[in-house]
Structure 1
Amino acid sequence: MCGLETVKQCLKDKHSREVFTYLMEIASCNHLGLSKITNDEDQEAEDNLENNNILLNYYNDIKEKGIESILSASIYLNPNKYKNHQYESRQLIFPFGSNNSQMKAVKNAFSNQLSVIQGPPGTGKTQTILNIISNILIAGQNVFVVSNNNSAVENVLEKLAKQDLGFLVATLGKRANQMMFFQEEYQKKEKAYPPKIKDWINSGLSKERLDAAILSISKRLHSIYDMQERLARDEQLLQQVELEYEHYKKELKLDIELNHPSRQINSEELTRLWVFCQEYTSIDHISSANQWIKKIKYFFLKWKMILGYHWDRKFFDKDIHTVIQHIPLLYLDSQEQP
């Protein structure tokens, strides 16, 4: 066996190559990374513009090395040809806590070839990263944590260190960090094993029983998170209904006391009553026979409400237009009921 491996390059594809060339042209207009220059250096800087352009240099480096078709970058260059790889779901842990959106983000990260997690400050992006790192480590794998600024990486390291996991991290990056990492004194002080590391081993439970326990807890967490989301949506809906309720009363200037039925009436019955009352107002424009039919129907509907829901009879003694105006208030009020 010769050990040769054939690797397909997506830049051989015409569409991918054209998109990549377009991105390089945009990068050539970006002066990212150029150092400040004086007027005397303007011409020389212009001559060396291409060499000093960090972004363009990255693109040139990628072009030289090529992009394998199996890499996620190929999906963006030609999404019609290269598809996102889906992976089978695996049992995940969330030792740094989570909410429903964070849990979904971690699951998506392990189910897809490429995952983008975004959100405003304070939404738990670092917490999500820590949970992703934890699942990679328990699978016996390594992970690179990189960022365009040191503070983001240091934030992850700090939170790992608080949980006595700092010894698992190799703080590399810039050369000064690399040199410091390999110093013996630094290793003894910062990367020493935590004193309680022996307590981490739970010899009383087998891996199968631990996996079963984790699965059970994960299901309960997922159920709790779903209920929290539904509660948040219902609270938001309640606020909208209350606001609409107040606007409606204010707009119509309803001063007549609203008579609620003693028994709770559902929104479907109220809608049916409202529609019928609307139709009843046009009774003068229909034949005499149909007028009597409408009156009989209204009579039975009225007494159904009075007897079935213990509704005050005085409510239906009011003018039909007043009744129509009050029904939407009752409808909104029924939406507020649990």
Structure 2
Amino acid sequence: MNTTKYMIIIKGEIKTRDVKYLEQDDASHKMNVTFNNRKTYSYTLDNVEFLENPKFLDPRKYHLSKDGKNFFSVEAIYEFVGKNATYIHVCFKNNVERDYYKSQLDIQESYLNKKDAANVFDYIKETSKLSNLKNESNGEQLLPKKFKKISFLRSDVALTKYLNPKSLKESIDGEYMPIFPFGCNNSQYVAVKRAMENQISVIQGPPGTGKTQTILNIIANILIQGKTVQVVSNNNSATENVFEKLSSSKYNLGFIVATLGKSDNKTNFINNQKTNYPDFTSWKSDDIQDDFMQQVQEKSKKLKTVFDKQERLAQLNQELNRLKIERKYFNEYLNETNVTVDYTKYKRSMKSNKWMKLWQECQSIS
């Protein structure tokens, strides 16, 4: 039985590789199925499906995974549609074949299958050749080399948002209340919150403005959701800076980081693994987790309120300083011109017509 052309379903189970041949008995309205062990059994026609003409899925354009584990070395994918379910036949490069219910698999279609997205991606690849980012050892351009390796693109990665900006969500559902175990100021608070609420976020600033501290807080917010995070850079010093901060005696969190990248880093990481990790039993308690997170969110809201008030106070102080300077120069002007002003005539509760009269007097003086 050619498993890439046909699929046999008996009582809802995939039996293609077990069947030698089958024959329909019109008189009894049954299907006689002979298995590879030469035994023959009769089934009602409703219990047997003979599927053919499958749809071919190019493995370069589709990626498969099952229970969170990705399939590798896939040579061909065939989709068979039955009466009650859809089935997938997968051929691997080591001559191994497997059958699955489609509902068992996570099938991701490459976003590059879309013509418009593919055109934009080709344009980005061409413009990447103008980049001056080069390999320090051999001078090879980095971006064109990386783009050349991309043949498949998931629809949920950041790059797809650049290929189709209309698909970019403005923010996640609801308001995210961040945590700040590494401390923060108002601008860092806003940066972390926006990074967690949006699919793409750009944070920039000169040296010493707390970008590394912001990165550490973003990492903490990702980890608390049970996710992993990858920190990448075009140079090692930037990622090493993050690792050094986490590894410092103040935090002692270097063990949560896998320093990878170039082959030497990977080798050193594997060879220097230790088994004496800290005791994690006191790190998390499921009993108080919900209450704890609610308390953190409430404190995060209060923290933002404090930051807003501090920022408003700073703005008012700046306005006050400007007014003091203006008054200083105004008094100097009055002394130079021998003009006297009776301030008792002008009070805060003065009506608009009196303010207009004051403005006219000032105009006449000038």
TM-score above 0.5: yes
Q: 1:21 aligns with which of 105, 109, 122?
A: 122
- Residue number in structure 2 paired with 1:229: 311
Give the structure-1-normalised TM-score: 0.65
In 2, distance between residues paired with 1:214 and 1:193? 27
- Residue number in structure 2 paired with 1:178: 266
- Residue number in structure 2 paired with 1:260: 343
Residue identity in the other structure for 1:269: M
CA deviation after TM superposition for structure 1 residue 61, in Å: 1.6
- Residue number in structure 2 paired with 1:313: none
In 1, distance between residues paired with 2:135 and 2:258? 30
CA deviation after TM superposition for structure 1 residue 54, in Å: 2.7
In 2, distance between residues paired with 1:85 and 1:14? 24
Q: 2:298 aligns with which of 199, 216, 230?
A: 216
CA, structure 1 residues 31+170, in 2 after alignment: closer, same or farther (shift >3 Å)?
closer
Q: Paired residues, what number?
A: 261
More strand by share: 2
- Residue number in structure 2 paired with 1:272: 353
Does the residue aligned with 1:97 lie in a helix, a strand or coil? coil
CA deviation after TM superposition for structure 1 residue 229, in Å: 0.6
Residue identity in the other structure for 1:134: A
- Residue number in structure 1 paired with 2:168: 83
User: Cα deviation per residue 1:30-52 (whole Å; 9 max; x = unaligned)?
Assistant: 46437899xxxxxxxxxxx9xx5
1:187 aligns with 2:297: no
1:55 aligns with 2:136: no
Does the residue aligned with 2:343 lie in a helix, a strand or coil? coil
Report matched runs for 1:35-114 at 5 Å: 52-62=140-150, 65-80=151-166, 82-84=167-169, 86-88=171-173, 89-114=175-200
CA deviation after TM superposition for structure 1 residue 95, in Å: 0.6
Residue identity in the other structure for 2:123: Y
Does the residue aligned with 2:307 lie in a helix, a strand or coil? helix
Between the aligned residues of both structures, percent identity stands at: 38
Structure 1 gap ranges (5+): 38-48, 280-320, 327-338
CA deviation after TM superposition for structure 1 residue 94, in Å: 0.8
In 2, distance between residues paired with 1:22 and 1:245? 58
CA deviation after TM superposition for structure 1 residue 158, in Å: 1.6
Structure 2 gap ranges (5+): 1-100
In 2, distance between residues paired with 1:5 and 1:221? 41
More helix by share: 1
In 2, distance between residues paired with 1:11 and 1:254? 75
Residue identity in the other structure for 1:84: K
CA deviation after TM superposition for structure 1 residue 103, in Å: 1.4
In 1, distance between residues paired with 2:291 and 2:188? 26
In 2, distance between residues paired with 1:70 and 1:248? 61
CA deviation after TM superposition for structure 1 residue 242, in Å: 2.6
User: Cα deviation per residue 1:48-80 (whole Å; 9 max; x = unaligned)?
Assistant: x9xx54321222222xx1333332222222324
User: Cα deviation per residue 1:70-120 (whole Å; 9 max; x = unaligned)?
Assistant: 32222222324x223632344432111111221122122221112111122
RMSD over aligned CA atoms reads 3.4
CA, structure 1 residues 12+243, in 2 after alignment: closer, same or farther (shift >3 Å)?
farther
- Residue number in structure 2 paired with 1:206: 288
Q: 2:323 aligns with which of 236, 241, 248?
A: 241
Give the structure-2-normalised TM-score: 0.61
CA, structure 1 residues 274+86, in 2 after alignment: closer, same or farther (shift >3 Å)?
closer
CA, structure 1 residues 229+325, in 2 after alignment: closer, same or farther (shift >3 Å)?
farther
Residue identity in the other structure for 1:230: R
Residue identity in the other structure for 1:265: K
Does the residue aligned with 1:7 lie in a helix, a strand or coil? strand
Higher relative contact order (CA 8 A, sep 6+): 1
CA, structure 1 residues 8+146, in 2 after alignment: closer, same or farther (shift >3 Å)?
same
In 1, distance between residues paired with 2:255 and 2:263? 20
User: Cα deviation per residue 1:248-273 (whole Å; 9 max; x = unaligned)?
Assistant: 445564444544329x832x727532
